[in-house]
Amino acid sequence: MAVDLLDFDLEGLAAFCEGLGEKRFRAVQLFRWIHQKGASDFDAMSDLAKSLRTRLAGDAAIGALPVISEQASADGTVKWLFDVGGGNAVEAVFIPEDDRGTLCVSSQAGCAVGCRFCSTGHQGFSRNLRTGEIVAQLWHAEHRLRARRATAGADAGPGGAPLRMVDNVVMMGMGEPLQNYGALVPALRTMLDDHGYGLSRRRVTVSTSGVVPMIERLREDCPVALAVSLHAPDDALRDMLVPLNRKYPIAELMAACRAYLPVAPRDFVMFEYCMLDGVNDADAQARALVDLVRRERVPCKFNLIPFNPFPGSGLERSPPERVRAFQRILLDAGFVATVRRTRGDDIDAACGQLAGEVRDRTGAQARLARRRTIPLHPQNVARSLR
Ligand code: SAH
Ligand code: SF4
């Protein structure tokens, strides 16, 4: 079977080229053709010797993922559904903003963590994506969007260089990136490499539900911006919302965050908090959150994500005034706290709505279906039942 060159970071590609008797600078050329120019055909690589091109065409491939669908939202958001074989499909979402473009990338077909409020989690887990399948999402989005821009007649950057479309990557699509660590790290390196996508470490974010030992390894191997999906101020509630908390409770998670920051490209951790009506959105819980991060001394910001409903979740989105009241408590305590604007609503591209298609190999669907109910915060029961 042909080797997928998207599976390699530059070091990996250099080793592969060495195996073909080629010098490192050939790997650099090849890497630039693939990632910077979006080449999918070895014949187009005009500065590589014909003999090498023929050899590559025989032994290797640039493993673009088949696109099942591309949907564009009225607000400019674009969502792709990619076929990763075996009845599985994963999604990536491009979110344009005034001054930058963000791509939300998937790391697994499904997810084994099984968070209560997450559509991917409800689908169960099929398999880890390979490095090449993670990178292929960025490769496709970047070059597809550039082509669309060129068709629209927009200009190139200084010296005719194509302007980059994706400036930010967030590993916030389907899957838990730190449960696919071996494939994740070379993918991150390709994103960061100046011969690859040249993204700044501050603009590549790994979002995790809290795989503590892998946060520690990421610190050593490839520190990028860190987002942690917290969702609750105490272990009792977090155990229910994010089952991984039973293995790595909040105190351990906070310790891992503290240890990560000295080498991180940003001097804070972004805590994500999905706002669930009557479950985790009370004033008392906001105050408990403030106490928690002060006690644990973790420099942080908060990103409040109004829950995006999906069929069968059994949960409701917190009302806007509740989100604002919760945010106010964090702001008054001196924290930066933003509310994530929902984008791509009309194409189901918002956080936690990425569903793709997953062959559940773990029985998670059935397990979650048995756990449909979640106890409400006592002071909120009355409001939620209204
Ligand atoms: N597995 C990683 C990254 C993917 S999820 C993680 O959990 O961090 C990306 C973000 O979307 C996480 O913060 C997650 O908690 C949030 N999310 C999941 N389902 C959601 C939903 N239905 N509504 C709003 N946010 C959701
Ligand atoms: Fe997995 Fe993240 Fe969804 Fe939890 S929120 S089930 S960790 S993808």
- pLDDT tens, position by position, 273-289: 999 999 999 999 999 99
Taking alpha carbons only, the member of 277, 270, 284 closest to residue 306 is 277
Q: Strand runs (DSSP E) across 132-255, as ranges?
A: 168-171, 204-208, 225-229
What are residue 143's phi and psi, to 5 degrees?
-80, -30
The mean per-residue pLDDT over the stretch 215-244 comes to: 98
Helix axes of 283-296 and 250-260: crossing angle, nearest 10 degrees:
50
Beta bridge partners of 328: none
pLDDT of residue 238: 98
Kindly list the distances between the CA atom of residue 302 and the CA atoms of 174, 307, 333, 334, in Å, as whole numbers in the listed order: 21, 15, 12, 11
The string of pLDDT tens digits covering residues 300-316 is: 999 999 999 988 899 99
- Please give the average per-residue pLDDT across 327-349, as a whole number: 87
Respond yes or no: is residue 91 known to be catalytic: yes
Among 106, 107, 108, 113, name the best residue to mutate to test ligand 2's pocket (greatest count of ligand atoms within 8 A of Cβ): 113
**243 in contact with ligand 2, CB cutoff 6 A:** no
Task: Specify the pLDDT at position 383.
Answer: 42
Q: What is the pLDDT of residues 6-41, one digit of tens each?
A: 999 999 999 999 999 999 999 999 999 999 999 999
- What's the pLDDT score for residue 162? 67
Q: How far is the CA of 274 from the centre of ligand 2 (A)?
A: 11
Would you call 252 a catalytic residue per the annotation? no
pTM: 0.93
Q: Is the pLDDT of residue 380 over 50?
A: no
Residue 222 CA, chain-centre distance (Å), reads 16
Please tell me the predicted confidence (pLDDT) of residue 335.
98
DSSP 99: S
Structure tokens at 242: 């994010």
Query: Distance from the CA of 176 to the center of ligand 2, in angstroms?
Result: 6
Q: What is the pLDDT of residues 139-151, one digit of tens each?
A: 999 999 999 888 8
pLDDT of residue 381: 42
Average pLDDT over residues 255-281: 97
β-strand pairing of 101-104 with 88-96? antiparallel
Q: Compute the C-alpha angle 26/28/30, nearest 5°.
A: 70
Residue nearest to atom 4 of ligand 2 (CA): 115
Q: What is the pLDDT of residue 22?
A: 94
Q: What is the pLDDT of residue 362?
A: 74
Ligand 1 pocket (Cβ < 6 Å) reads 117-119, 172, 176, 207-209, 229, 272, 274, 305, 307-308, 351-352
How far, in Å, are 76, 264, 341, 355 from residue 106 at the CA level? 20, 22, 20, 11
* Residue 382: per-residue pLDDT: 39
CB-ligand 2 contact for 354 (6 Å cutoff): no
Predicted pLDDT at 385 = 35
**Strand bridging mode 225-229 / 204-208:** parallel
What are the φ/ψ torsions at residue 229 (nearest 5 degrees)?
-85, 100
Instruction: Return d(Cα 253, Cα 58) in angstroms, integer.
Output: 47
In this structure, how many other beta carbons lie within 10 angstroms of the beta carbon of residue 112? 18
pLDDT band of 384, cuts 50, 70, 90 = very low
